[in-house]
Amino acid sequence: MGEDHAKEMVFSAPITPRPLATISEAVSAPTTPWPPTSAAPTPPIVSLPPSQLHSPSLTRSPLLPTNKTPNKSRNLTPRFITPLGSPLRKALKLTKLDPQDAWLPITESRNGNAYYAAFHTLCSGIGVQALVLPVAFTILGWTWGIISLALAFIWQLYTLYLMVQLHESVETGIRFSRYLQLASATFGDKMSKLFVAFPIMYLSGGTCVTLIIIGGSTSKLLYQTLCGATCTTQPLTTAEWYLVFTCAAIVLSQLPNLNSIAGISLVGAVTAVGYCTMLWTVSVAEGRLPGVSYNPVLSKRDISRAFDILNSLGIIAFAFRGHNLILEIQATMPSDEKHPSRIPMWRGVKVAYALIAMCLFPLAIGGYWAYGRLIPANGMLTALFAFHGQDVARTILGFVSCFVIINALSSFQIYAMPVFDMMESSYTTKFKKPCSWWLRVIIRAVFGFASFFVAVAIPFLSSLAGLIGGISLPVTLAYPCFMWLKMKKPNKFSPSWWINWGLGLFGMGLSGILTAAGLYVIIDTGVEVSFFNP
């Protein structure tokens, strides 16, 4: 902000004259999140729109005063300045002025609550990636499979807690509303773009592509199930089912912001719990397959055996993605001094992950018990139709397929929102104005059809779960530990210092090993590559 512009803003609000020494002391005073009550009164805000009241980068602190009594006097303070209990001059010196946050899909609405957080977290934290968990057990076996799944769940829940606590910085007064923002503040712009931006965008865009593949394929399966053997109509091709699913996803994506899709996330969460529960209960009720074996499937060569085990760990790691959305979900909540957003956010997360545990563990254990080493590489849904397609009622098969499709549509919305936010941010940065409604429609339609093109071009993307898990593992299990060390600065050699350094370094090393193992398994065993032939 130029000097002239700053002066204009400073003197546009009524300020009681002070001696020069007092003003100098106010400007040079150390930054504190909540100044003493004896500080100069805050200029009242009478025209600030509700969507900007808790914007992270529009204000020096996310914890804003709750006094809403209007002021009768004329106030010419610019709409985007919201100083917290400090002189306006000090606010101008320390505040990041970024009116764009009120224009972007993630932060333009701030009326979220613990229920919304639970819906979004559950919808993003459980999904079709959980269906391949029993496949990891075919390599790890009973004991190490359960131990690995339990340790991964505890580890990612711990790092999730770190992310919720790091969302608001009391020391600097900034809310980090996006994962990449926190990464930039921790590692620097260059390092974050190099090591964080790619896995973040892949977890968003790549997950949307995978959801199109799963949703389109399951739509075809649902049609065949309902139509039956006597159906005489000409069925759609797999690519055409992809297109049907993509069009439905694009229509739903026109909802403006993350808070507006809370209802969709609720439906997605309910259907995710529904199909996970139905899959393992039906599989267990039908009993074990004849001649089922639980002996781990291991290669004869030592190197191949080691990489198979690591690839299975990558499959388990892939089941716990979603950390790249936690800061965005928390950004939809209001926050003030007495009610910081981390409290309702953590409450919603605890409920969501209790339900996630109730789905993932029975699905992995029950699926492996029912099918053993015979389970297909695509997971539980394929196993149900392959082994019990004639034994189970078509109604149940139809409900399972329908729940998978609805969950995929709902998950598409929440994973696509960070991409929409990034694309609109580029526009608002360049043109200094919010996107119009028709431009939003175009942006979201372009992203949807681009994802459809990738899904048709690389329909085998969902078979690379181990490799994907290795690439995305640092986002979930390693980076939050380093962020905590940098932002909170625990005492050297304290328990927190040792835990976070240990988990962070181990996570980075494990990510490199799992990525190499995923590549080796793909090269060694092969993947059915079918470009533009879904």
What residue type is 106 in one-letter code?
Answer: I
Residue 175 clears pLDDT 70, i.e. is over it:
yes
Q: 532: pLDDT confidence band, cut at 50, 70 and 90? A: low
Over range 439-449, report the average pLDDT.
93
pLDDT in the model for residue 449: 94
d(CA 381, CA 394): 14
Q: Left (φ > 0), alpha (ψ -120 to 50) or beta: where does 474 sit?
A: alpha
d(CA 60, CA 174): 6
Greater confidence, 77 or 478?
478
pLDDT in the model for residue 534: 60
Residue 95 clears pLDDT 80, i.e. is over it:
no
d(CA 330, CA 13): 32
pLDDT in the model for residue 96: 42
d(CA 312, CA 261): 34
What does the angle CA 104 – CA 108 – CA 113 come to, to the nearest 5 degrees? 130
Cα distances (angstroms) measured from residue 196 to each of 200, 202, 225, 478: 6, 10, 42, 11
Express each pLDDT in 104-128 by its tens digit. 888 888 888 899 999 999 998 887 7
Q: 295: pLDDT confidence band, cut at 50, 70 and 90? A: confident
Q: What mean pLDDT value characterizes the chain?
A: 78
Q: 99: pLDDT confidence band, cut at 50, 70 and 90? A: low
Find the range with the poorest average confidence among 70-79, 157-166, 218-227, 402-411. 70-79
Phi, psi of 168 (to 5 degrees): -115, 130
Over range 176-186, report the average pLDDT.
89
Over range 387-400, report the average pLDDT.
88
Closest of 67, 61, 96 to residue 341, by C-alpha: 61
Beta-carbon count within 10 A of 290 CB:
6
d(CA 482, CA 458): 34
Closest of 330, 341, 318 to residue 125, by C-alpha: 318
Find the range with the poorest average confidence among 228-232, 434-438, 484-488. 228-232
Burial label, 534 (beta-carbon count in 10 A; 0-12, 13-18, 19+): buried
pLDDT in the model for residue 84: 38
Asked if 349 and 118 count as a contact pair (C-beta separation under 8 A), the reply is yes
Burial label, 3 (beta-carbon count in 10 A; 0-12, 13-18, 19+): exposed
pLDDT in the model for residue 476: 87
| Block residue for tokens 């009768």 | 72
Residue 401, both tokens? 């397929």
Q: 172: pLDDT confidence band, cut at 50, 70 and 90? A: confident
Closest of 222, 7, 255, 246 to residue 108, by C-alpha: 255
Q: 461: pLDDT confidence band, cut at 50, 70 and 90? A: low
Sign of the Cα torsion 376, 404, 470, 145 reads negative
DSSP state letter for 505: H
Phi, psi of 524 (to 5 degrees): -75, -45
How many percent of the chain have pLDDT more than 90? 35
Residue 30 clears pLDDT 60, i.e. is over it:
no
Greater confidence, 21 or 99?
99
Q: 416: pLDDT confidence band, cut at 50, 70 and 90? A: very high
For the ranges 220-234, 283-297, 434-448, the maximum mean pLDDT occurs at 434-448
pLDDT in the model for residue 232: 67
What residue type is 355 in one-letter code?
Answer: L
d(CA 156, CA 105): 27
Phi, psi of 376 (to 5 degrees): -65, 160
pLDDT in the model for residue 322: 67
Chain centre distance of CA 173: 24
Residue 36 clears pLDDT 60, i.e. is over it:
no
Greater confidence, 315 or 409?
409
Residue 246 clears pLDDT 60, i.e. is over it:
yes
d(CA 212, CA 206): 10
| Block residue for tokens 């809310």 | 175
* Residue 400, C-beta contacts closer than 8 angstroms, at least 6 positions apart: 275, 278, 279, 282, 381, 384
Residue 527 clears pLDDT 60, i.e. is over it:
no
Find the range with the poorest average confidence among 135-144, 224-233, 388-397. 224-233
* Residue 240, C-beta contacts closer than 8 angstroms, at least 6 positions apart: none
Asked if 360 and 279 count as a contact pair (C-beta separation under 8 A), the reply is no
Over range 319-329, report the average pLDDT.
82
| 3-class secondary-structure state, position 510 | helix
Residue 89 clears pLDDT 50, i.e. is over it:
no
Residue 101, both tokens? 């946050």
Q: 59: pLDDT confidence band, cut at 50, 70 and 90? A: very low
The size of the chain, in residues, is 534
pLDDT in the model for residue 368: 93
Kind and range of the H or E run holding 413: helix 394-431
d(CA 341, CA 510): 32
d(CA 336, CA 58): 14
Express each pLDDT in 214-240 by its tens digit. 899 999 988 888 877 667 677 788 899
Asked if 167 and 176 count as a contact pair (C-beta separation under 8 A), the reply is yes
How many percent of the chain have pLDDT more than 70? 76
